[in-house]
Structures are given as structure tokens and as C-alpha cells.
Chain A
């Protein structure tokens, strides 16, 4: 158990809809990272937050947004969903920003029908 929690575990929704994925980092960790894992694209970095502030962006679509709250939990919002957005979404955390040793949560499996 990494100490990172993600909810929900599974999510099934229709195209065009909007969903919110939630992540609670390990106790004491200030940095949160979001990744998307799909069969065709592999594991891709989306966005990084440190202590409430956006720190780095990766291959995140404009339809996706995220934020980190004062209690350090983070949410990833996915809107106007397309079939291709079906994937596993992982949250990871670390104490310091930009750490390469990151603790990953169990993921949220999103299925868009």
C-alpha cells in the first residue's frame, strides 16, 4: 500500500459527459502528479501540483483540468469525454516537487461508452 488513495476505483460514463477523479496523497506529501495509462499511449504524465500550485504540465488536453486543494488532495476533471479518453488514471505523490521516486495510487479506471 503506497498510502495514496484514489476514488472512484471504476467509472463508466457516456461520451460528452464530465467526471471528476479524486486523489489523496500520502500523509506529508506536498506534490501530486496525474498520469494517464492507455494501451496505445502507455503511461503519460498529465500535470503536476506542488502545495496547491500548478508546477508542470505534460500531455494534458484542454478538456482536462486539475487542481490541488489546501488540504493537499487533488481532483482531475475530464469534460466532453470521448471514447479515446477511456484509460487508467493514476495519481502519484511525493514530498518534494519533481521527485523521481513517486508513490502511485491504485488508479481509477475510466470507461467511456
Chain B
């Protein structure tokens, strides 16, 4: 079965607000957790990753938090913009082969 999943299938936020997209995982052996963004009609695009021995990592307007105690991953987007509207996938990778195991995705809609 799938070990990476999402709490909510859809999320609607107002432009300028912060967005939080959540993800649960079940495999403690995962090495990296990654967030991908998929805009309509396009392939997924890498956003940010976090190694399993870290709790937090920040990028440009995005922050990923990893809580290993409850096996929970979140992506925070600051000052959400219309261009952030997309489906967001969390993924995990294990071992040297690095195959990505994707969750089902959360659709983020940004209201102007």
C-alpha cells in the first residue's frame, strides 16, 4: 500500500495569506522527503526537500517542517499568490536508488 498520503485533498486560501499543506507518512526508513508542485497541464516541479535528520528547512517563501514523532510533513507557503495554485505532492525516497514515492496530492486554490 501507499505509505505517503495527505490529510486534505483540497485547500482554498485568500491571496496574500499563508498556506499550509500537510502530509502523513508511515515509513520511518525514508531518507528524504520532497515537495513537488504540479500546475495544470504540466509535469511536477521540484520545490524543496528535507533530509530525515532535519526538522525544518526554508526556501524562498516556502518552509518544510518534519515531525518524525508523529510522522508528519508540512509545506508552508508564505504570502500565497495566484501562481501558487497547483496540486502539491509530498514524496519520499529511500535508499540509494532514490525512487520517488508520491502521495495523492493536495489541490491548492488561491482566491484573488
Contacts and interface: CB of A to CB of B under 8 A. Distances in A.
**Contact count band on A:** 20 to 34
Given A42-B103, A42-B104, A98 B97 contact: yes
A104 B103 CA distance: 17
A107 interface: yes
User: What's the dominant secondary structure at chain B's contact region?
Assistant: loop
B102 A42 contact: yes
Given A100-B34, A100-B49, A100-B91, A45 B99 contact: yes
Nearest to A92: B43
Contacts of A97: 97-98
B45 A100 contact: no
Interface residues of B, number: 24
A98 B96 contact: yes
Contacts of A99: 98
A45 B101 contact: yes
Contacts of B95: 98
Interface string B62-104: 0000000000000000000000000001010101111111111
A16 interface: no
A105 B105 contact: no
B99 A107 contact: no
Nearest to B34: A100
Contact of A43 (B46, B93, B97, B102): B102
Interface string A80-113: 0000000000101000011111111111000000
20 contacts: A4-B43, A33-B100, A42-B102, A43-B102, A56-B97, A56-B99, A58-B99, A90-B44, A92-B44, A97-B97, A98-B95, A98-B96, A99-B98, A100-B49, A100-B93, A101-B46, A101-B49, A102-B100, A104-B45, A105-B43
